[in-house]
Amino acid sequence: MSIASRAFDCTDPESRAAGLSAARSALKGGHLVVMPTDTVYGIGCDAFDGRAVASLLAAKNRGPDMPVGVLVGSWNTIDGLVSRVSDAARELTRAFWPGAVSLVVEQAPSLAWDLGDTRGTVMLRMPLHPVAIELLREVGPMAVSSANVSGRPPAATMLEARDQLGDSVDVYLDGGPSEHAAPSSIVDLSGPQPRVLREGAVSTARIAEVLGVTVESLA
């Protein structure tokens, strides 16, 4: 538990620089950070810090049966995180990254992380938000979930996130209201056929159009 969380207005250049510096230090110290993305606000930590991931799940009041996804700051980052980048994954990343599509893929077996009960998969996304991208490119992959307590609405503003998560988070980065205020669409590529597990900011029809195949939707 943080002694006192800190908030930074990232629409102001000086405050943004201070906020990103504080966020880097917090993440390296195993603490949690709330940051804006192009969908909803996210609560995140170092993806390779198992204790920090456990703290993230505790802050959201959920267990490892609901594993945490990973945000990356570049297209090439995924090459070291997955066992194989399929043609479908390449097509979707080219079309939608950075953006509001999350991909569930088989993770590289050598990865030393614990994101929850992932059954050998990982959910990856590259967000379309300058604050998130800058932080991710400086600190590397982050385990990130929507910035809310489980069962409550995802936060579309920093204040909504802070109201729910309080001092369980060390640093809050305020980038203004979320552009979409809707979660990402989740596409499962770990099986023989692509499946949409959640239809969010990008429609199933648009995903199918990019892939050129029929896409099963479980949304």
Angle in degrees, CA 186, 206, 204, rounded to 5: 45
Mean pLDDT value of segment 64-68:
85
Domain chopping of the chain, boundaries: 6-186
**Residue 70 CB partners (closer than 8 Å, separation 6+):** 47, 81, 115, 122, 123, 124, 125, 141, 142, 143, 144
Answer whether residue 2 shows pLDDT above 50.
Answer: no
Mean pLDDT value of segment 152-157:
93
| Model pTM above 0.85 | yes
Mean pLDDT value of segment 31-57:
96
Q: What is the distance between the alpha carbons of residues 184 and 176, in angstroms, rounded to a whole number? A: 18
Mean pLDDT value of segment 36-61:
95
Answer whether residue 42 shows pLDDT above 70.
Answer: yes
| 177-213 pLDDT tens trace | 987 778 899 999 999 999 999 999 999 999 999 999 9
- The pLDDT assigned to 51 comes to 95
The yes/no answer on whether domain 6-186 falls in CATH 3.90.870.10 is yes
- The pLDDT assigned to 180 comes to 72
The residue type of 4 is A
Peptide bond into 98 cis (omega under 30): yes
What's the whole-number average pLDDT of the chain? 93
The torsion region of residue 181 among left (phi > 0), alpha (psi -120 to 50) and beta comes to left
Q: What is the distance between the alpha carbons of residues 41 and 129, in angstroms, rounded to a whole number? A: 11
- The pLDDT assigned to 1 comes to 42
Residue that wins the pLDDT comparison between 135 and 67: 135
Give the 3-state secondary structure of residue 211.
helix
Mean pLDDT value of segment 168-182:
91
Burial of 91 (0-12, 13-18, 19+ CB in 10 A): middle
| 105-117 pLDDT tens trace | 999 888 878 888 8
Angle in degrees, CA 28, 60, 68, rounded to 5: 65
Confidence of residue 3 (pLDDT cuts 50, 70, 90): low
How many CB atoms are located within 10 Å of the residue 1 CB?
12
Answer whether residue 90 shows pLDDT above 90.
Answer: yes
Give the 3-state secondary structure of residue 171.
strand
Residue environment code for 49-76, b if the CB has 16+ CB neighbours within 10 A, otherwise e: bbebbebbbebbebeeeebbbbbbbeee
